[in-house]
Amino acid sequence: MMPSLTTLTAVPSYWPIALALVAFGAIGVRRGWVREVATLGGVLLTWLIVFAFGLTIVGWVNRAALVLAFTWAGGFDAADPLLLVRALKAAPLVDPWRPEALYFALFAFGGGGAYLVGNRLTARVTSPSEMVLGALAGGLNGYVLAYVGLGYLRGPANDGFVLLGSYSTMLVVAAVVAAVAVALVSSLRPQPKRSGRANG
């Protein structure tokens, strides 16, 4: 049996998340807060869907795999179709007790989709304030992606992940609300009117 990632990884728990904060914060400087907040919304929505409907999705995947495997093995033309179905059900494609690999794949797919959708919203930023807000929102994206993704890969959370995850929901909500509020306030400020030259 292959060793788990927990036994293979000697890096402290905080390092992957710290690196994600720095890397995604740097990306957020170029992408801007609008793109990063839109991406964060997609990432959180993906997380919610996997959390709420993960077992249902596992059931759908296993049923589809069962139909395909049954058909490939001969289907009703097999010598004993009932025995074949029982054997296939005994070895499902996704173990309902350990679905972390499927959850990680779904979360990665949703996160990638959110990133692509966010890129289509606005052009890249130019003002320093938008860059700072983009860095904050990008760092938050990195935190969520690293925490959730590594949580799926590592299985049961260790002490570092328990500490980081105990206030994760409150941290995410507070950071998003703060970023959006600052961005809205800055966008609602009256812009100075440019004085045009008089036509001579």
Model pTM? 0.69
Q: Give the residue, 3 or 98, on which the prediction is more confident.
A: 98
Cα dihedral angle (131, 137, 142, 145), rounded to 10 degrees? Answer: -150
CB 147 within 8 A of CB 17: yes
d(CA 126, CA 153): 37
pLDDT at residue 87 greater than cutoff 90? no
pLDDT at residue 165 greater than cutoff 90? no
Q: How far is CA 57 from CA 42, 68, 95, 133, in A?
A: 18, 17, 12, 36
Kindly indicate the confidence band of residue 9, based on its pLDDT and cuts at 50, 70 and 90.
Answer: very low
Q: Give the residue, 96 or 199, on which the prediction is more confident.
A: 96
Q: What is the pLDDT of residue 89?
A: 86
pLDDT at residue 58 greater than cutoff 90? yes
Q: What is the pLDDT of residue 200?
A: 47
